[in-house]
Amino acid sequence: MRIGIVCPYSWDVPGGVQFHVRDLAEVLVDRGHDVSVLAPADDDTPLPAYVVPAGRAVPVPYNGSVARVNFGPISAARVRRWLREGEFDVLHIHEPATPSLSVLACWAATGPIVATFHTSTLRSRAMLAAYPILEPTLEKIRARIAVSEDARRTLVEHIGGDAVLIPNGVFVDRFAGATPEPAWRGEAGTVGFIGRMDEERKGLPTLLAAFELLLAARPGTRLVVAGRGDAEEAAEDMSASVRAAVTFLGEVSEPEKARLLRTVDVYVAPNLGGESFGIVLVEALAAGAPVLASDLDAFRRVLDDGRVGVLFPTGDVTALAAALGDLLDDEPRRQELSRAGSAWCRRYDWSTVVEDLLAVYETVAAGAGAVREDERRTWRERLRL
């Protein structure tokens, strides 16, 4: 099958949607499909063979983050040329309401379109205002996918219609088989955090404040922080003793991320909001790390209402410090969480997720004869086609 995938955000800057598109493309290629990904990127940026650059992205503040998007007449021309040359059996557009390549591709495409919605937001005036303009374009979409219940709710409330739930995927075995790094371990336990330090909603200041309280009671505990941002700025309010107990790794590769998650005694997700899924939680579960996370709806669902991880009141520094100390003191509890999480996260493995996506592709693709009629009927009902 010839599959075109549109990524709205800059390939040069790591993010959840970009990682999802990258992993999906690699899985599809491994299965013998002909895949092309269109994404914002400079023409001279080193890219995988399946990525076609659409030009430099422009940073735009959105949903507590910065979205790096690409829009304009030159981009539109590149989109049209890519669609024309690709002759895709199915076009998979991510975040079709985002004013970037996704909207341009929706405008220009004429074949079967599948769209995945990732965003979770309580109320977006921009999305509500843009809907009358986007409505004719969004009606071209044959199948809608949401990566989580929160993303589905955002779609229903802001755009209308419904979507089938297909979560983000994870290469579970890559995390489960990673080798821990002894150099990152602390004598009294190791705590891990992965996220952008320069985004308040990722919650690093909350974790650092809680870690300071924890360290007073548990000297020798180490916090390992990975992610984009200025470490010196993040550490400027720390005492000398706390700063000595924190290791900043900066941006890490996928193998390094897996090693970090295999090393920690507890992985903490102190996010404050704006999360539709929480892929790093699944990655931590896959690595066997006990997870302690903010009580966000998205995180609660990923952690099965606290059955495979521990939840604390969002933004509560004292509660986070107490819960973290309790987990570090209770090795049997950590082992129990590790076993439960390792089993639970298998449902998010790419081997499962890609089968659901392929079933959608085959259902909407013109002349797709590979799908049994009963399976086609099931997906039509689920997708309300």
Tens digits of residue pLDDT in 193-206: 999 998 889 999 99
What is the average pLDDT across 237-247?
A: 91
Percent of the chain at pLDDT exceeding 90: 68
Q: How many domains does the chain have?
A: 2
Clarify whether residues 323 and 179 are in a common domain. yes
Percent of the chain at pLDDT exceeding 70: 89
Q: Which residue has the higher pLDDT, 309 or 379?
A: 309
Q: What is the pLDDT of residue 63?
A: 56
Clarify whether residues 82 and 180 are in a common domain. no
Q: What is the pLDDT of residue 74?
A: 87
Clarify whether residues 22 and 91 are in a common domain. yes
Tens digits of residue pLDDT in 288-311: 999 999 999 999 999 999 999 999
Q: Which of 274, 314, 277 is nearest to 122 (CA)?
A: 274
Tens digits of residue pLDDT in 253-264: 999 999 999 999
The domain of 340 spans 172-347
Clarify whether residues 204 and 316 are in a common domain. yes
| Cα dihedral 301/304/307/313 (nearest 10) | 10
pLDDT at residue 178 tops 90: yes
Clarify whether residues 284 and 155 are in a common domain. no
Q: What is the pLDDT of residue 139?
A: 84
pLDDT at residue 159 tops 60: yes
Clarify whether residues 248 and 377 are in a common domain. no
The SS3 assignment for 2 reads strand
Q: Cα separation of 105 and 75, whole Å? A: 10
What is the average pLDDT across 19-43?
A: 95
pLDDT at residue 130 tops 60: no
The SS3 assignment for 184 reads helix
Clarify whether residues 318 and 202 are in a common domain. yes
Q: Which of 83, 89, 101 is nearest to 142 (CA)?
A: 89
Clarify whether residues 66 and 23 are in a common domain. yes
pLDDT at residue 125 tops 70: no
Clarify whether residues 57 and 141 are in a common domain. yes
DSSP assignment, residue 230? -
Which CATH number goes with the domain that contains 106?
3.40.50.2000
